[in-house]
Structure 1
């Protein structure tokens, strides 16, 4: 029901941002980025809308160096996952480059070095790349990745640098799942329930009033990962739909500016609410 209310207009919003040279750009210039391209392709797949992908695949494949690298972690993540959505392989084997990125993520966040909030997101992206490329992780690396995730685990079942938050918890849970070390579900479920809100569906932290789109997305995804439904599913859907703009895209908040990233998060959340299926939403976090 929720997706039916936005399908046609949102598909038009996305396709209008396709670049003549391939890929997508949310501000509608011929300046495609892997970031925008990934979120556009992920959204179109949810909507069941086709895209003439030849130029987009060529654009993405052109970003790879001869040694298999696509550059920094974000660019590698968005490029390889975009190619995966298109069913097109990269020109060169990226396995060694992905392994190097995993080592960088681990090396940059060992105590006593500060652990940044975005580290959970980066860790999840690195683990996603290992899955996407079929990279076999050694037991010692799996142990290190698990320890890194648990560094800012909290007694209430959540994860976060400055106290537990839904979005950091979603990224941590996703990463742990990818390496076969999922957290204990009872504590996680209790934390997710503590973030539920009858007006907005979810807030970012227990007792707060932060109904940003990424928190609704995280809460819905975590509920489905736990095999449950949000207590206030209707409120979740309405909060997401209030972020929809006249263009058909979605913003982070009701008064924000639509982007391809937020549009993808919104569609993932609505699809979860429609069908109770979040495997794609959890496996392809922002």
Structure 2
């Protein structure tokens, strides 16, 4: 447990996470509403949250069996998102998938190469999120991307950067900028100039970070992205900003023990993980 987690109700958070485990070993946010359907996102979020609290994972054998069942005999998954959450959760548990996932990674790698990302209807946030996850998996699995892939990513990054150094469409925003920073770090590309300056423009004295420099939108995901950007850029966060972020995160904890995306919002497993991971990566005062 880090010093930062002393600012939240750790026992209540732990109870919330464990209460969302289903009989098959996975986790489901909707379990509180009578739905017993484990899913990858909630399972990853719960496992990552429990580990950040240094808790023992309950029913580990059932959980591993459920995760292994998500993979087919060829090493693939029903969707890239499912594969991402399954492989990441297994990594957190220091367990290998039953089948080598290299073919799965190669398929997603080649999918990007065949993608016409210059079309006007492209949903940039989804693309950057998928590429940040794919780049992370490739680095962790020591899967070497092709020169064509790296070149395509470099061109995409140059194409998407806005006037203020950030990324996003229709406007530059902190979430998409963080995703680009992850891609650049995983592929060991040259960090685009202006990313840190954009993160500093999104700093906020009340919430810690705003989604866009001139707006007021904020959430745990935005704060998490801001902390991640400072970390990836090797920048020192101002002491007064650290205190602000701690207070904001603590204000997102609900009576259930979990965390909502903003103060007063309903707690979810995904937002609870964002809160715990943000606190874990927040520099000490």
TM-score (structure 1 length as normaliser): 0.91
The residue number in structure 2 matching 1:24 is 27
Structure 1: how far apart are the matches of 2:281 and 2:140?
22
* 1:111 paired residue number: 118
1:108 & 1:6 partners in 2: Cα distance? 46
- Give the Cα–Cα distance (whole angstroms) in 1 for the partners of residues 175 and 111 of structure 2: 23
Please give the alpha-carbon distance, in whole angstroms, between the structure 2 residues aligned to 1:95 and 1:254: 41
- The answer to whether the aligner puts 1:120 opposite 2:123 as a matched pair is no
Deviations 1:38-80 (A, max 9, x none): 1111111211111131111110001111111012110010011
Cα deviation, 1:127-165, whole Å, max 9, x if unaligned, reads 122123221112121111222233211232211111210
Moved over 3 A (4+): none
1:240 aligns with 2:249: yes
The answer to whether structure 1 residue 270 and structure 2 residue 276 are counterparts is no
Q: Which residues of 2 match residues 1-286 of structure 1 at below 5 A?
A: 1-4=3-6, 5-28=8-31, 29-52=35-58, 53-112=60-119, 114-116=121-123, 117-184=125-192, 187-231=194-238, 232-275=241-284
Instruction: Please state whether the residue corresponding to 2:249 is helix, strand or coil.
Output: helix
> Deviation per CA, 1:57-107, whole angstroms, max 9, x where unpaired?
110001111111012110010011111111111111110111101222343
Q: 1:25 to 1:272 in 2, by over 3 A?
A: same
Q: Report SS of the residue matched to 1:90.
A: coil
* TM-score (structure 2 length as normaliser): 0.91
**Mapped partners of 1:164, 1:260: distance in 2:** 27
- Deviating more after overlay: 221-230 vs 29-38: 221-230
Q: Is the 8 A contact 1:3 1:274 kept in 2?
A: no
Q: 1:132 to 1:109 in 2, by over 3 A?
A: farther
Q: Is the 8 A contact 1:202 1:211 kept in 2?
A: yes
Which residue number corresponds to residue 282 of structure 1?
none
Contact 1:109 1:148 in 2 (8 A): no
CA distance in 1, matches of 2:271, 2:109: 26
Structure 2: gaps (5+ residues): none
| CA–CA distance in structure 2, aligned partners of residues 194 and 157 of structure 1 | 10
8 Å Cα contact 1:38/1:81 also seen in 2: yes
Query: CA shift at 1:182, angstroms?
Result: 4.0
Runs of 5+ consecutive residues of structure 1 not aligned to the other structure: 277-286
